[in-house]
A and B are shown apart, each in its own frame.
Chain A
Amino acid sequence: MTDRDVHVFLRPLLRTRSTTWVVLALSLAGAAWLFYGAFYYQFFEGHQVTGQGTHGAMWGSIVANVVQLIGVSHVGIAISATVRILRLHRYQQLARIAELVTLVSLTAAVINIAADVGRPDRFIYNVVFHGNYTGPFVWSASVITAYLVGSSVYLYLAMRRDIYLCSRVLPRRRWLYRLLALGYTDTPEERHAHERVVRWCAVIILPIMVSVHSVYGFVFGLNPGRPGWFNPFQPPYFVLGAIVTGFSGVVVVAAALRSIYGWQEVLPHRMFKGLGVFLGFVTLLYLYFLFAEILTGVYSPPEAEHGVFQDLLFGRFARIAWTATLGGMVVPFWILFVQGAHPRICRTWVVVVAAAPIFVAMWCWRYLITVPSFFHGHLPYRVVEYAPTPFDWSLVAATYAFCTFFYIALVKLLPILELPEEFVPERPALPARIPEYRRRLFARGKRAAVWSTVLLGAGLIAYGVSTRHDIRAPSPAIWIAGILALWTVPLQICLAPGFALRRKAARAPPSAEARPARPPPAPRPARTPRRPALPAFQEERP
């Protein structure tokens, strides 16, 4: 395989079409509006420019959007981690596409949260340094930090080899990739260390991912004062909703990349068929959750709950609810079911046609979780109906413009597909020659650094948690520092020199042909039974 052969995987980095520039410019304009609208116009005019109000919906479309984006961010890493842990080779190329979706949507979600709070100028500082440990917002800040930093570390380490290869095979911007690769030279020992570390990161990230969306379920579910929200079912419901949203989002993004860059062979129809089957399954599961929630809400509910669910099913929200459920979930589920069950239907567009309405329907359901409850308080106030204003809609649209801009920028800067494992560049970088005694010294130093960081991180988290009642101690800042310290561990292992693993392989040259084959496993000695055989008379027993 020559350098030119892998250019097919690196198409976005080689050439940019004029339409891409146009889309980039438009989405940049949208992103600029997001920042101007949220952090200048709204900041000085107040949230009166939205449709929200105290005796009306105090949270509206932006909160729905936050939940949606957090949901999308979920699945990127979920797909990637599952692919890595279960070694699903068919979906391997989807991993980074999905990881970048995570990075983009999580950033957009944090920007949306900042746009929704009244004082974005103080919100991060106050939450981190004056945080109240009982507030779900503080939990959210902690887990989102863990997730954002963790997924960035994971993304970087999983991508480091490809960045290094870019610096060897691409005609342009080699300096950038050389800089980003931070000295990686793709020696077998480096590669082995990265694979191991990335797999462990995947194992660690999966529960963090579940926690991020559970926290959003708790933001709603822990409010006894809000009919329709107070429900222990919310966290799993939100996690499932996130999986549905995220999968539908990733399907659409992957299909778009496939058609734009002509990656029909890299992202084959079969892969989309498999994704469609899974998406159909989780959509059905979501419908089941929805049914359970609505049945509880209409069967014999308390008065306020009754009001919420009547409004949802037959009142002012009925049109959105029924359209979203039937058009955005039931019909797409059947499309996905038929394409999954029928052996001859194996087309990407069929899955996309089903996934896109699911994404929109999930947004609608986020809205329907957030808003109707405000119309049915426990006390009989005069309630002003909420409808998102053009400004609300413009912020929602601008958020997706920001996502588009950020995603295109990442696709244009980073290798979005994994290059084949067996590929070796024509002119590989020479690994640094480190004498054996120094290598050992580095390895020992690294081990000491890693363990002391683990102790420091765990200690900081424990100390932060133990000072949670002390209003003078910035407890969340302490435990977030601990989380950040822990996330430097994979970086230390992979970036610092001194790989003491597989010393034999380390001496070998980095080319694939010359890489020593793994010695065949020694034949196992015949197992000797630990227990002595039973005496003959016992064996004869019936």
Chain B
Amino acid sequence: MPRWGMVIDLDRCTGCQACSLACRTENNVPFCGEHNAARGRAIFWNKVIAIPGGGEHAASGRGAGPKPEAHGEGPEGGEPSRRPRLRLLPLPCMHCDNSPCTKLCPVRATFRGADGIVMQVPSRCIGCRLCQAGCPYSRRYFNWQPPQYPEELGQALNPDVSLRTLGVIEKCTFCVHRLQEARERARAEKRPLREEDYQPACVEACPARARTFGDLQNPAHKVAKLVRSPRAFRLLPELNTQPKVYYLSEGDWLSEAAESAQGGMDT
């Protein structure tokens, strides 16, 4: 049985957010409007967060984004050590092997499949938000408002992914509908599933090739090699959630990000 996982090379990520866009389109992620976005209710199955690195941290604490003036200064401005830097962290669902959300869900609306993908069944969800409260990575989204789709997008909705209703949780599923399709095709062609058969939308869309996806247990897959790299790490390993999303970066990134996140980021 495969164990699907993802590796994201942070040193390659340019922060273009193509992954977020591809994810929205692929999975029919609803819009929420300006007012609700300002209230922290926007849904991003795949979110790229910016962490101000190196320099001082914004006054309101770790939750704050970069200061506007940080963008104004060019790489030449100021001393190299005080130069404001921005760190980018793309965040899909971590698909933890020891996932708190699946334990907390009272109705089995979220569960870990045999291949390790943490699934979400919106039609069974009761919207209690226990999984959301329990996720240390905050990778679960509640539909606080009736889902909105701009009229222009009406024709572009993906028929393979069901729309979610008001009042339920949704999250990244590693584009599991693609896996189902790939499996069917492989079975029809009487051949084993190949690495390139199943790739989530964000991996395909990344122009910098920062993302790699595959079976962590299959030595023929690139991810299996990449996770053994000395640059590989996982987020918040001290919580023992055992995520299947790995990050690659040089130590420099990590130490600065950890400093700027006031220690919240694990190194």
Contacts and interface: CB of A to CB of B under 8 A. Distances in A.
Q: Do A and B come from one complex?
A: yes
A54 B124 contact: no
Given A117-B167, A224-B240, A307-B61, 20 more contacts: A47-B142, A54-B138, A56-B40, A58-B129, A118-B126, A118-B129, A119-B168, A126-B106, A131-B108, A132-B106, A135-B105, A135-B107, A225-B100, A225-B133, A302-B263, A376-B62, A378-B137, A379-B49, A379-B235, A379-B265
A363 interface: no
B41 interface: yes
Contacts of B146: 44-46
B158 interface: no
A167 interface: no
Given A47-B167, A225-B134, A307-B61, A130 B108 contact: yes
B127 A118 contact: yes
Contact of A138 (B51, B91, B106, B109): B106
B132 A118 contact: no
Interface in A48-67: 48, 51-56, 58-59
B167 A46 contact: yes
A381 B62 CA distance: 7
Interface in B122-150: 124-130, 132-138, 140-146
A278 interface: no
B112 to A, nearest CB: 12
Interface of A: 43-48, 51-56, 58-59, 116-119, 122-123, 126-127, 130-132, 134-138, 141, 219, 222-226, 302-304, 307, 374-384, 471
B40 A54 contact: yes
Given A46-B167, A119-B168, A379-B235, A135 B130 contact: yes
Contacts of A118: 125-129, 142-143, 166-169
B49 A307 contact: no
B36 interface: yes
A378 B136 contact: yes
Interface in B224-258: 235-236, 239-241
Contacts of B109: 126
A119 B125 contact: yes
27 contacts: A47-B144, A48-B41, A53-B36, A54-B132, A54-B144, A117-B127, A118-B125, A118-B127, A118-B169, A119-B125, A119-B126, A119-B165, A126-B109, A127-B107, A135-B105, A135-B107, A137-B130, A138-B106, A222-B134, A224-B100, A377-B136, A377-B264, A378-B137, A380-B264, A381-B138, A382-B64, A471-B108
Nearest to A42: B167
The 8 nearest A-B residue pairs measured at CB: A118-B127, A118-B167, A225-B136, A137-B106, A53-B40, A135-B106, A383-B63, A384-B40
B187 interface: no
Q: Interface size class for chain B?
A: 35 or more
A136 B124 CA distance: 17
Contacts of A131: 106-108
B162 interface: no
B143 A46 contact: yes
Interface in B93-116: 100, 103-109, 111
Nearest to B134: A223
Contacts of A378: 136-137, 236, 239, 264
B144 A52 contact: yes
Nearest to B147: A46
A136 B137 contact: no
Contacts of B61: 307
Nearest to B140: A54
B66 to A, nearest CB: 10
B106 A377 contact: no
Contact of A380 (B39, B43, B239, B261): B261
Nearest to B60: A383
A54 B104 contact: no
A240 to B, nearest CB: 23
Interface in B72-107: 89, 91, 100, 103-107
A415 B108 CA distance: 44
Interface string B26-48: 00000000001011111100000
A381 B41 CA distance: 13
Contacts of B236: 378-379
Contacts of A379: 49, 89, 91, 136-138, 235-236, 261, 264-265
B128 to A, nearest CB: 5
A224 B239 contact: yes
Contacts, number: 189
Given A224-B100, A382-B64, A55 B126 contact: no
Nearest to A311: B61
A303 to B, nearest CB: 4
A117 B136 CA distance: 21
Contact of A130 (B40, B124, B263): B124
A302 B144 CA distance: 32
B65 interface: yes
A219 B179 CA distance: 34
Given A122-B126, A132-B106, A135-B107, A46 B239 contact: no
A380 B136 contact: no
B235 A59 contact: no
Contacts of A382: 40, 49, 63-65
Contacts of B40: 53-56, 382-384
Contact of A117 (B64, B100, B126): B126
Contacts of A224: 100, 134, 136, 239-241
B262 interface: yes
Given A118-B142, A380-B261, A226 B133 contact: yes
Contacts of A130: 107-108, 124
A51 B35 CA distance: 12
Interface centre among B111, B143, B240 (most CB of A within 10 A): B143
A130 B91 CA distance: 30
Contact of A135 (B43, B49, B104, B265): B104
A379 B48 CA distance: 12
Contacts of B240: 224
Nearest to B238: A302
A374 B40 CA distance: 12
Contacts of B265: 379-380
A400 to B, nearest CB: 23
Contacts of A384: 38-40
Contacts of A43: 167
Nearest to B89: A379
A134 B103 contact: yes
Nearest to B121: A130
Given A225-B135, A226-B133, A380-B265, A132 B91 contact: no
A48 B145 contact: yes
Contacts of B91: 379
B41 A53 contact: yes
Contact of B39 (A56, A117, A126, A135): A56
B137 A223 contact: no
B167 A126 contact: no
Given A47-B142, A53-B144, A223-B133, A381 B166 contact: no
Given A118-B129, A135-B106, A53 B134 contact: no
Interface string B158-181: 000000011111000000000000
A132 B105 contact: yes
